[in-house]
Amino acid sequence: MEINNNSTVADIVANNYKTATIFKLYGIDFCCNGNRTIEEVTTKKDIDPDTLINKLIRIDRGSKSNNDYQNWSLDFLCDYIYQTHHTYVENRIPELLEYLNKIAKVHGKNHPELHEVLQLFTESAGELTKHMKKEELILFPFIKKLVTAITTNTSLAPPPFGTVENPINMMHTEHDNEGERFRTIAKLTNNYTPPADACNTYKVSFAMLQEFEEDLHKHIHLENNILFKKAIILEKQLNN
């Protein structure tokens, strides 16, 4: 794709996920606040737009993601998000809670920020668990019904939530909340940098937290910038 000042962060990353590494380098949010143009983000952060665009172009031309998410059917993408990202979150939460509780008890006196990190992650774990269930039980099944209705040229009864945009708007809000929560965690942990007196559990906990945040960014990106956008278009096609 052509990348210029009017290109949005979301569209660039949706076209080639490897460009996310450049945005992360500059501290530009590509998942929750991806609908901003290059001009907007470079002005806000006082970044030279030509430098950023050239780096993005080099990444884009040099390689494409092995997974062409843009061309996947939405029902397949729903299953991929569940099997790859939802399962990851479910498996990591108990491990991270165990480790964070341990280091907060052992190191919390010298590093009181660990208690806040534990509290924030505990809140995130509870909210993400509820959030994913809403997607798995309500939103994803309806998106799959949309795909079936379009491919079989059949009608679809109106959902109890009116339009797919309503649960999607709720998911966007919840994604924003988690993005903000993890920005706070990253700040409290000095971008997941263990202190000099950190034990191995401390170091592992921070490494796992960082990996968790990175997975969450990709998870939210796939939903906000690809799945949800296309589901809204699909519903409008069906209702025309």
SS (H, E, C) the chain: CCCCCCCEHHHHHHHCHHHHHHHHHCCCCCCCCCCCEHHHHHHHHCCCHHHHHHHHHHHHHHCCCCCCHHHCCHHHHHHHHHHHHHHHHHHHHHHHHHHHHHHHHHHCCCCCHHHHHHHHHHHHHHHHHHHHHHHHHHHHHHHHHHHHHHHHCCCCCCCCCCCCHHHHHHHHHHHHHHHHHHHHHHHHCCCCCCCCCCCHHHHHHHHHHHHHHHHHHHHHHHHHHHHHHHHHHHHHHHHC
Residue 67 lies in a domain: no
Q: What percent of the chain has pLDDT over 90?
A: 78
Residue 44 lies in a domain: yes
Q: Calculate mean pLDDT across residues 156-166.
A: 93
φ/ψ of 8, rounded to 5, equals -90, 150
Beta bridge partners of 8: 37
Query: 79-109 pLDDT, tens per residue?
Result: 999 999 999 999 999 999 999 999 999 999 9
Q: What is the pLDDT of residue 113?
A: 97
Query: 103-114 pLDDT, tens per residue?
Result: 999 999 999 999
Residue 96 lies in a domain: yes
Same domain, 148 and 53: no
> At 62, is the pLDDT very low, low, confident or very high (cuts 50, 70, 90)?
low
Residue 133 has pLDDT above 80, yes or no: yes
Same domain, 187 and 226: yes
Average pLDDT for the chain: 92
Same domain, 172 and 214: yes
**Residues with Cβ < 8 Å from 120, sequence gap 6 or more?**
181, 184, 185, 188
Same domain, 103 and 42: no
Q: What is the pLDDT of residue 175?
A: 96
Structure tokens belonging to residue 238? 């069906």
> At 64, is the pLDDT very low, low, confident or very high (cuts 50, 70, 90)?
low
Structure tokens belonging to residue 216? 């969450």
Residue 148 lies in a domain: yes
Q: What is the pLDDT of residue 66?
A: 57
Pick the last residue of a domain from 20, 39, 62. Answer: 62
Q: In this structure, are residues 121 and 96 in contact, taking their beta carbons and an 8 Å threshold? A: yes
Q: What's the CA angle centered on 75, arms 74 and 81, to 5 degrees?
A: 85
Same domain, 39 and 109: no
Same domain, 34 and 124: no
Residue 227 lies in a domain: yes
Same domain, 34 and 128: no
Residue 131 lies in a domain: yes
For residue 155, give its domain range: 72-239
Q: Per mean pLDDT, which range of 22-31, 48-57, 215-224 is the poorest?
A: 22-31
Q: What percent of the chain has pLDDT over 70?
A: 98
Structure tokens belonging to residue 236? 């409008």
Residue 180 lies in a domain: yes
Alpha-carbon distance 1 to 115, whole Å?
45
Residue 63 has pLDDT above 70, yes or no: no
Same domain, 183 and 233: yes
Same domain, 83 and 48: no
- Choose among 31, 32, 49: nearest CA to 40: 49
When divided into structural domains, the chain yields a total of 2
**Please, is 78 exposed, middle or buried when counting C-beta atoms within 10 Å of its C-beta (0-12, 13-18, 19+)?**
buried
Same domain, 96 and 184: yes
Same domain, 58 and 174: no
Query: 9-35 pLDDT, tens per residue?
Result: 988 888 887 788 788 889 898 877 788
Residue with tokens 């069906």: 238
Beta bridge partners of 37: 8
Same domain, 125 and 222: yes
Residue 217 lies in a domain: yes
